Every structure is written in C-alpha cells, then in structure tokens.
Amino acid sequence: MQDIKTSLVLVTTLLASLAHAHSWVEALSLLSPNGSFTGNTGYPRGMILRTTPGFNDTNMQWQLPANAGSQLLDNMPMCRPSQQTSNYTDSSLPKLEAYQGANIALRYQENGHVTTPWSKPGKPEHSGVVYVYGTSQPKEDDTLLGIHGQWTLDGKGGDGRGRLLTSQYFDDGQCYQINIGYISADRQAQFHRVAEAGSFQGANLWCQTDVPLPNDLDVGKDYTLYWVWDWSTMDGSGTVTLPELYTTCMDVTIADTKQVGDTGAVVPDGDSKSVPFVSITNYGEAAIQSVFESLSAAPTVPKVTATVPVNITASISYSVAAALLAKGVSSPAAAAQGASAVPLVLATLALSTHATAGAIPAAGAATAAATADSGAPAATSAASVPPTNPPRSADLGGGGECSVQTVTVTVTSTIPSQPQAHSTGSLARRRILALDDDDDDDDDDVFDS
Ligand SMILES: *[C@@H]1O[C@H](CO)[C@@H](O)[C@H](O)[C@H]1NC(C)=O
Ligand SMILES: *[C@@H]1O[C@H](CO)[C@@H](O)[C@H](O)[C@H]1NC(C)=O
Ligand SMILES: *[C@@H]1O[C@H](CO)[C@@H](O)[C@H](O)[C@H]1NC(C)=O
Ligand SMILES: *[C@@H]1O[C@H](CO)[C@@H](O)[C@H](O)[C@H]1NC(C)=O
C-alpha cells in the first residue's frame, strides 16, 4: 500500500505543470499541392530549440500582457525582443523557403492546452483562436494592437502595411502531446503517429495553422508573418475579462519555385483543388485536410466562444489508476484507488485554483509520476474504473465549474513513453498532498503546501 500512497503523492504533487507551458511556432513547413509537407523545415526568428542546454520557455515565449491581470497597452511590441528583426544567425535554423501563392504550415506544441483544457477556467473553446498576419514591410517597433484586430483580409485595415492571412482555432482538431489523459489517448488512437528517426516531435502530433501566402509577393524577398494566439480568459457570456495572447514572429523567403528545396517538380498552378489530398500514412507529415481544402475559399474568422464546463473526473481517476498500474499495483486495486482519489484530487485542485489557477494532474503529470520511479515496471494489465465519482461540489471546495461524466475508462496495457524533454514544461512541485498513514477511507486528509 505504500506504493499506492507514494504514487498518489506523486500524481497530486505534480499539479500545475501544464498551465505554465505555453506555445510558440516551433517549425514551418511548405505544403505540396496535395497537402504533404515538402522542402526544408523553416524556423521563426531568434529560434532556440527546446533541446538547447539550459533552455526554458522564456527563451521563446512572448506573452501579452506579460503579467497576468494586466490589460493590453497600445505600445506592447508585437514581437519578443529576439524576434523584432530578421534574426537568423544560426544557419541550421533557417527561414522557410516558399513561393508566392504557396500554402505553408506553422507548427506548434499544444502543451496541454488542447489535451487538458480544464487546466485554467474561463478559457475559450478550441483553446482559442490563432491569427496570422503577413507583411512585406515589417517594422522593428510593430505593436500588437497596431496590427491585431487592425489589419484585415483585404489589406486595407489599420495602416495598410499588411493583411490578415487566416485565422483558425488553436486546436486543429487532431493535435496532441502524449499523456494518459483521455483526450490525448483518444487522439493517439484516431490520429496515430509514428515518430520518424531522429524526430524532435517524436510521437507527439504538433498542431498547425495552415496559411495561404499571397499571390503578389516579390521573388527573392522576405515576407514576414506574425502568429498571434488569443487565449484570453472570458466570462460565461464570452466577454474577455483578462487578455492573454502569445505571438511568434518569422520570415519566409519567397523563392523562385524551382529553387525551393525538393519541390522542383511542384509548379504552383493556383488550383490545389485539382490535386487530391495525400492519403495519410503517418499523421504529422501533411496539412490538416479540412483546413487545407478550405484555404482556397474566402477566409473566415472563427467565432470565439466561452468554454463550457469540462468533465474532469474521469480523467483524474484514469490518470491515478494508470500511474498505479505502472507501478505494478494490481488492476482492481488501481481502479479502486483511481476512483477514490478523485475527491482528494479535486479538493486539492480547488485549493490550488484559488491560489494559482493550477492545473489538475491529468496527462503529463501522471505520466511523469508513472515514470518517475525508474524501478517501476511497465503496466501490463487493464483496469476498468467504474463511474462512481462524485461531482465537484461546493463541499469539496469546487465552484461548480465541473460536472461529472459517467464513463468507463480502460487503462491500456502500455504507458506511453515520456514526452519530449520540455514538451510539457517544467513540472512545478507547488502543492503537496499529504496522505494519512492509514490506507483507506480517510475523510481527514491534510493538505499542505
Ligand atoms: C537573435 O536571437 C538569439 C536567439 O534567440 C538571441 O540570443 C539574440 O539576442 C537575438 N539577436 C537580436 C539582435 O535580437
Ligand atoms: C530562463 O532563461 C532566462 C534567459 O536565459 C533566464 O534569465 C531566466 O532566469 C531563466 N528562468 C528560469 C526559471 O530558469
Ligand atoms: C504529394 O506531393 C509531393 C510533392 O509533389 C509528392 O512528392 C508526393 O509523392 C505526393 N504524394 C502523393 C501520395 O501523391
Ligand atoms: C459532461 O458530462 C455531461 C453528462 O454526462 C454531458 O452531458 C456533457 O456533455 C459533458 N460535457 C463535456 C464538455 O463533455
């Protein structure tokens, strides 16, 4: 039983991991007329890879406003300082080469925003909306508010220096990082991805914004893109209460088609609809089909709606049970503990939400817990967690934001491998759930920070 307690402590200690890992464009890919990635990978300005020794999110993240609780100001720069100029000093991290009229994919990690959307209350559906602006005349001192909401699809908005190219939901409907939360698990099955040799992305499926480049760009010149992700906090009616936006700035070299990587054979004919979409053999090597096929139509801006309450209970019991299974605890015991851990975890969540808007320990946290002990055997058995979990109620400290989903979750026989280094951010050990020495049926558990 010590194992069970240790695991529960681990699982619940790893709260708040995902809420602090934010997203930026990690890579750009040129799309073939059939939607497959082609050519060489491109990068944003001032790129630092997550694998760089000493890397942390602040090396690439640009959050506006910088301090939660502040409002947007007119003079807030669009780009982080390292991205305010065409900063490409590392020849191994070059600009994307594309051609005018090409479609390209901007790719980013979801970092739990898609697969653990309950990590912060009041967030928009589909993890918010991404806007991509393009200009041939970037300025070092471009501001967010001078462009975002100003530049329009027809290029006539704001100061007219650029235009809105597309806007899409942050959640492209497929992407995930590998964790044992149920959203990720569902998507791993539906959009299965096998890691290519040496791939930094691994078996995680990065999200993408598929962007149509204008047809009237100058060959040999750079075209600058501003990726703006709006993940503001809203009230129930959809009114923004706290702005929270992230940007990435990048350049694309507009090449003569024949000079673009291995796309020599691809002549943009302006009619990609005439080419059937590539049949997917491995997710993460092509555009999102529905988005890609809509790029030739007149762009629309998706509606931003307030999030609906999510059902988190099943995911908690799933995560706890899976973590225990991974430690060799028998299936029935893991299932029972998974179910009975729910009130404790929800109570802890309620406490940490008050303090810091923390995350619940679905997903990466449980995966980390499951693999934290190197001596732990891999899970070898399956368990059904019965739908006996109570709703998050007032006496558990909850605000009634979450409801209960009565589902049966099955812990499958393998625990996914650890996500890529840094892919879910550092696992902050902020709040420790101290369990009683007695094993079962405790109502007097103590929560310490
Ligand atoms: C260019 O990017 C690198 C890496 O982010 C950064 O260290 C450097 O300061 C940047 N240079 C400029 C001029 O912004
Ligand atoms: C992250 O890196 C930046 C720049 O190297 C550094 O100033 C900052 O202290 C680091 N933050 C953490 C939490 O390590
Ligand atoms: C898709 O297009 C690329 C580039 O033209 C080509 O190399 C690839 O063979 C095509 N794939 C399929 C399945 O047609
Ligand atoms: C939560 O569960 C309830 C009851 O099963 C269901 O009606 C509702 O659609 C679920 N909400 C979400 C966001 O899945």
For 163-207, the pLDDT digits (tens) are 999 999 999 999 998 865 667 878 988 999 999 888 888 899 999
pLDDT of res. 345 = 57
Beta-carbon neighbour count of residue 189 at 10 Å?
9
Q: Is 414 in the pocket of ligand 2 (CB under 6 A)?
A: no
Question: Which ranges of 266-416 does DSSP label H, i.e. alpha helix?
Answer: 289-294, 313-326, 331-356, 363-372
Task: Please name the residue whose Cα sits nearest to atom 9 of ligand 1.
Answer: 82
Task: Please name the residue whose Cα sits nearest to atom 11 of ligand 2.
Answer: 56
Q: What are phi and psi of 71, to 5 degrees?
A: -105, 165
Least confident of 106-110, 134-138, 314-318, 345-349: 345-349
pLDDT of res. 327 = 67
Compute the distance from residue 347 Cα to the ligand 2 centre, in Å. Answer: 32
Q: What are phi and psi of 38, to 5 degrees?
A: -150, 170
Q: Is 85 in the pocket of ligand 1 (CB under 6 A)?
A: yes
Q: Is 32 in the pocket of ligand 3 (CB under 6 A)?
A: yes
Domain boundaries defined on the chain: 2-15+309-448, 22-294
Q: Is 48 in the pocket of ligand 1 (CB under 6 A)?
A: yes
pLDDT of res. 370 = 35
Task: Give Cβ neighbours of residue 89 (< 8 Å, ≥ 6 apart).
Answer: none
Q: Is 86 in the pocket of ligand 1 (CB under 6 A)?
A: no
Q: Is 58 in the pocket of ligand 2 (CB under 6 A)?
A: yes
Atom of ligand 4 nearest to the CA of 311: 1
Q: Is 311 in the pocket of ligand 4 (CB under 6 A)?
A: yes
pLDDT of res. 316 = 62
- Percentage of the chain with pLDDT > 70? 60
Atom of ligand 4 nearest to the CA of 308: 13
**Which ligand has the minimum distance to the alpha carbon of residue 45?**
1
- Return the biggest CA–CA distance within the chain: 72
Compute the distance from residue 61 Cα to the ligand 3 centre, in Å. Answer: 34
- CA angle in degrees (0–180, nearest 5) for 59-229-121: 100
Q: How far apart are CA 408 and CA 384, in angstroms?
A: 6
Q: Is 331 in the pocket of ligand 3 (CB under 6 A)?
A: no
9-63 pLDDT tens trace = 444 333 333 344 789 999 999 998 889 998 899 999 999 999 899 999 999 999 9
Q: Which residue has tokens 């702005």? A: 243
pLDDT of res. 420 = 23
Q: For residue 365, give the DSSP letter.
A: H
Q: Is 56 in the pocket of ligand 2 (CB under 6 A)?
A: yes
pLDDT of res. 142 = 98
Task: Please name the residue whose Cα sits nearest to atom 13 of ligand 3.
Answer: 278
Residue 214 has pLDDT above 70, yes or no: yes
Q: Is 257 in the pocket of ligand 3 (CB under 6 A)?
A: no
Higher pLDDT, 54 or 367: 54
Give the end-to-end CA distance of the chain in Å, rounded to a whole number.
23
Strands 96-98 and 245-254, by their bridges, are: parallel
Compute the distance from residue 405 Cα to the ligand 4 centre, in Å. Answer: 6
Residue 147 has pLDDT above 80, yes or no: yes
pLDDT of res. 400 = 29
- Mean pLDDT across the chain, nearest whole number? 71
Q: Is 186 in the pocket of ligand 4 (CB under 6 A)?
A: no
Task: Give Cβ neighbours of residue 194 (< 8 Å, ≥ 6 apart).
Answer: 203, 282
Pocket perturbation via mutation, ligand 2, pick of 20, 49, 55, 58 by most ligand atoms within 8 A of CB? 58
Atom of ligand 3 nearest to the CA of 266: 5
pLDDT of res. 25 = 98
Pocket perturbation via mutation, ligand 1, pick of 25, 87, 88, 140 by most ligand atoms within 8 A of CB? 87
Strands 103-108 and 96-98, by their bridges, are: unpaired
CB 113 within 8 A of CB 170: yes
pLDDT of res. 344 = 57
Residue 268 has pLDDT above 70, yes or no: no
Atom of ligand 4 nearest to the CA of 310: 13
pTM check: above 0.75:
no
Q: How far apart are CA 257 and CA 386, in angstroms?
A: 58
pLDDT of res. 138 = 98
Beta-carbon neighbour count of residue 82 at 10 Å?
16
405-433 pLDDT tens trace = 222 222 222 222 222 222 222 121 111 12
Task: Please name the residue whose Cα sits nearest to atom 2 of ligand 1.
Answer: 46
Q: Give the bridge partners for 162, in sequence order.
A: 135
Atom of ligand 4 nearest to the CA of 404: 2
Q: Is 403 in the pocket of ligand 4 (CB under 6 A)?
A: yes
Q: Is 38 in the pocket of ligand 3 (CB under 6 A)?
A: yes
pLDDT of res. 261 = 53
Residue 369 has pLDDT above 80, yes or no: no
Task: Please name the residue whose Cα sits nearest to atom 5 of ligand 4.
Answer: 405
Pocket perturbation via mutation, ligand 2, pick of 22, 52, 55, 56 by most ligand atoms within 8 A of CB? 56
Taking residues 231-246, report their average pLDDT: 90
Angle between helix 2-13 and helix 331-356 axes, rounded to 10 deg: 30
Task: Please name the residue whose Cα sits nearest to atom 11 of ligand 3.
Answer: 278
Least confident of 109-118, 257-266, 372-381: 372-381
